[in-house]
Structure 1
């Protein structure tokens, strides 16, 4: 449900929006900040896969020691589809939502990689940055971070109520929260919740932010 990370005393921490199979865009963004895989850490709000041809390569990132993501709704769609099989409604729903890359990548290999990735795709992460903390979920966080482990799973993965209402109520018990899921024209902040999904698969814009900037 929740994985907590101690402060990075060796390098920097970055947060990135929904990748959606845009492996090249991610590599370009990391090169732009001289990202070091031996010292820096990258935290992703989920939706590594779907709609992009390099989805399998992006899914494999979940196994890298410097990469830390949460489960997005597209990982959830893929899990249900691969569990229920190609004749299921879950499979049809996945295909409608961009899962057709699996045809070229191979169902069996994708299933193996997804099973491996899911061991390190919690619903939430909490990252210490100096003396402060940043929380991360894919969609809607609870209003009290201390209740994160009792929060509604569907809201964490699928929810949009906060952004649809323009709700600027801060999440208490944490200094900042980073989410994705809903495409915004540019990074948006409501209260202390930062929306980073700038639609990489349609706009070609993948947002990468230094954790320290989120706490300024």
Structure 2
């Protein structure tokens, strides 16, 4: 699939070569809130990159596939939302709730444009202000930034989950490291932690 997407993109943009030049990274993600947070972050990648105005407009996005009625995408979304809700949730309800998580309060009415909806973004200035004051970005603001925790955090989930992984894999970190879970700095993480303590520009 990657070859087809890259070829299509290169032909459209008149370019050559790969799209991703850095080495592949993966993060072990706990089900429930961590999984849904990671999914929304990934689905918002093309929005952050300025490729589209909304995730559903990006044809290779999981949310777009679900909106288009693809059974595997809808099933996967429902499974993720069921673990997030700690109980069975219908397909329609899971789509609706996931969309709320994607957009949060991210749409506002623009009275000067016949009530047209506009997407509210987050500026670099806002991020820098929050960092300078050692404050925290809201979940919605965080998802519209590049967040290193989602690619460099190694493991993401509740404190118990991350500590459990550390108990099995702690030898990889050396003898000085005694504990596993680390808080996610500068964001309202709602109980989520990561295995790596990212100090250098965790959000940008």
Structure 2 length-normalised TM = 0.30
More RCO (CA 8 Å, sep 6+): 1
Structure number with higher strand proportion:
1
